[in-house]
């Protein structure tokens, strides 16, 4: 497996984590500010890792 492929896998893992965190909300309070911020941070990291993996290949 090349380094680019590994970056694509890491990007997919981070994307799944961002989706999971964004989806987990409380019935009473909804999504909190830190929860949304962390999901956006993970989404940006996933996009960077995926773009780097594509460019590496």
Q: Percent of the chain, pLDDT > 90?
A: 61
**31 — pLDDT class (breaks 50, 70, 90):** confident
Is 70 exceeded by the pLDDT of residue 32? yes
Domain boundary assignment for the chain: 3-56
Is 70 exceeded by the pLDDT of residue 4? yes
Q: Dihedral through CA 43, CA 7, CA 12, CA 9, nearest 10?
A: -160
**24 — pLDDT class (breaks 50, 70, 90):** confident
Q: Residue 53: in which H helix or E strand, if any?
A: helix 33-56
What is the SS3 assignment for 29? coil
Report how far apart, in Å, the C-alpha atoms of 6 and of each of 2, 13, 23, 34, 48 are: 7, 11, 26, 29, 13
- In the structure encoding, which two tokens stand for residue 31, read together? 């999504």
């Amino acid at each position: 497996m090349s380094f680019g492929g590994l970056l694509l896998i890491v990007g997919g893992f981070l994307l799944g984590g961002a989706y999971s965190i964004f989806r987990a909300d409380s019935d009473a309070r909804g999504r909190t500010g830190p929860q949304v911020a962390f999901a956006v941070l993970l989404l940006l990291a996933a996009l960077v890792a995926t773009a780097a993996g594509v460019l590496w290949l």
